[in-house]
A and B are shown apart, each in its own frame.
Chain A
Amino acid sequence: MGTVIGVWIAAGLTLCVYSFLYKDNPFYKFAEHLYVGVSVGYTIAITWHQAIVRLIWYPIKSEGNYTVLIPTVIGLLMFSRFIPKYRWLIRYPLAFMIGVSAGASIPRTMRSFVFEQMGATLAPFTTVNAIVIIIGVLVTLIYFYFSFEHKGPVGVVSKVGIMFLMVSFGAGFGYTVMARISLLIGRAYFLLHDWLHIVR
């Protein structure tokens, strides 16, 4: 019975959201606000149980580990932003977070997203793909180099770079269209299969 009620509520809300395609209306607004509210509430509940209770409360209560209070206090200093007199205290948790994030991410990011990609781009030109990739990378980079005026040979090369960019945008657009249609198919399948039972 609970499943049936859930399906009907989901179907009703789906139709409320899709009613926006005709024009904005109170049903759509209701569904939109409900979605935002439920998402935030769910996120807060999960974060409460997985972060506050699991990482702070249990270590203190079960293990007597009070050292977890140090990162807790540092984290709470983030809320000093809302008290004008103590707003400057937010610099401590921000400095900590930025320092840790930068230290952990910069070497990894440089290696995984820059050096590995550069190495693969400079692979031996034994295939047509490898030649096309290196030409595409070079002409695209030249297009984004604005210290020279894009005239003459530089203008021609940058126009080729624009074509490579357009091809990549086209591929991205095609994939995006597929993604959006997929989401519509998912909802249509739910309505026809789970709700109306007219699709097997």
Chain B
Amino acid sequence: MADFIKKIANIDRRYIFILIALTVIIPLLFPIGMPVTETKEVMAVYDYIEKLPQGSAILVAMDYDPAALAEVYPMTLAVFHHAFSRKIKVVGMTLWNTGAALGELAMREAAGDIARVGEDYVYLGYVVGDVNVIMRMGEDISAVYPTDYGGKPLAESPMMKGIKNYKDIALIVDIAAGATPELWVAYAGDMFKKDIAVGCTAVSAVGYYPFLNTKQIIGLIGGMKGAAEYEKLVKSRGTATAGMDSQSIAHILIILLIIIANISYFVMRRKDKLLKKA
């Protein structure tokens, strides 16, 4: 028994890689359809946008790069889908230079046939400076972005005629792969008293729960699970929902591996103690 435990403890990690790969690939090929239950943090974002009157405007900051796409892109699409279906105008921008093109891609994909650029949404792109951009947009968005991402003057966009600064924005949604939500909370939320919602990678989500508890943010969409919840709420099945089966089964495998590793640790430690006594 101890020899078996020792073999398990010293197993080549490549076998574990193969097991993880299989737990991810097989549910994608043969979906199980595990239920996705909504959490109150995600519901809070959904309810806020749902209650906005038609014609309101929201600002969506897509502060991520291609490395985080798997987690944040589905939630970006879901939020856009929700806003466009409710006839809510969307101003898109980014504080990350590596995400400049991704923002336009997301807006165009989500808009499809239901929203038109210039009338229902505008993508402003990227401008250098994080804190400066956030603070100046609170006074005048066109001073920071005289043109949209395509070079068209902002004054020529029908949608931007009634949107000068944060006073004309009902909600700021920061979908981030880094620490930009802290900047939005500090400078847009606390300084200009704007409501902020955060969508982020799962790694970062833990750090933003304190902001949720203090109501500095109105809601939190965390990781692929949060994205799947939002997709369920807006009734739009996307890649996040498709990945939930793999997510759940991979987690079960990891829990089993941790239990096995702990059992092997305590068995080996007991064996060593007995050997020392002998």
A residues with CB within 8 A of B: 21-22, 39, 42-43, 46-47, 50-51, 54-55, 101, 104-105, 108-109, 111-113, 116-117, 119-120, 133, 168, 171-172, 175-179, 181-189, 192, 198-199
Contacts and interface: CB of A to CB of B under 8 A. Distances in A.
7 tightest A-B CB contacts, nearest first: A186-B70, A179-B202, A182-B224, A185-B243, A120-B214, A112-B186, A108-B186
Contacts, number: 130
Interface in B97-156: 97-98, 100, 125-128, 131, 135
Contacts of B203: 175-176, 179
Contacts of B128: 47, 50-51, 55
Contact of A199 (B14, B21, B29): B29
Contacts of A176: 202-203
B14 A21 contact: yes
Contacts of A184: 20-21, 24, 250
B8 interface: no
Interface in B209-234: 210, 213-214, 216, 222-225
A199 B31 CA distance: 10
A185 B247 CA distance: 8
Contact of A189 (B97, B201, B243): B243
Interface string B8-37: 000000100100110011001100000000
A188 B242 CA distance: 11
Given A175-B203, A178-B225, A43 B97 contact: yes
B260 interface: no
A178 B247 contact: yes
Contacts of A192: 25, 28-29
A182 B131 contact: no
13 contacts: A104-B135, A109-B186, A117-B210, A133-B213, A179-B202, A183-B67, A183-B68, A185-B70, A185-B250, A188-B24, A189-B70, A189-B239, A192-B25
A120 B213 contact: yes
Given A185-B246, A186-B70, A187-B70, A113 B202 contact: no
A50 B200 CA distance: 25
Interface residues of B, number: 50
Given A46-B98, A46-B100, A47-B128, 19 more contacts: A43-B97, A50-B100, A51-B128, A101-B131, A108-B186, A116-B216, A175-B205, A177-B251, A178-B223, A178-B251, A179-B203, A182-B70, A182-B224, A183-B67, A185-B70, A185-B243, A185-B247, A188-B21, A189-B243
Interface stretch (B41-49, B51-59, B84-92, B187-195): B187-195
Contact of A182 (B25, B98, B247): B247
Contacts of B224: 178, 182, 185
Given A39-B98, A178-B223, A178-B225, A186 B206 contact: no
Given A104-B131, A181-B250, A185-B70, A175 B190 contact: no
A47 B24 CA distance: 38
B63 interface: no
A120 B128 CA distance: 34
Given A50-B97, A51-B128, A111 B214 contact: no
A199 B67 CA distance: 22
B251 A189 contact: no
B71 interface: yes
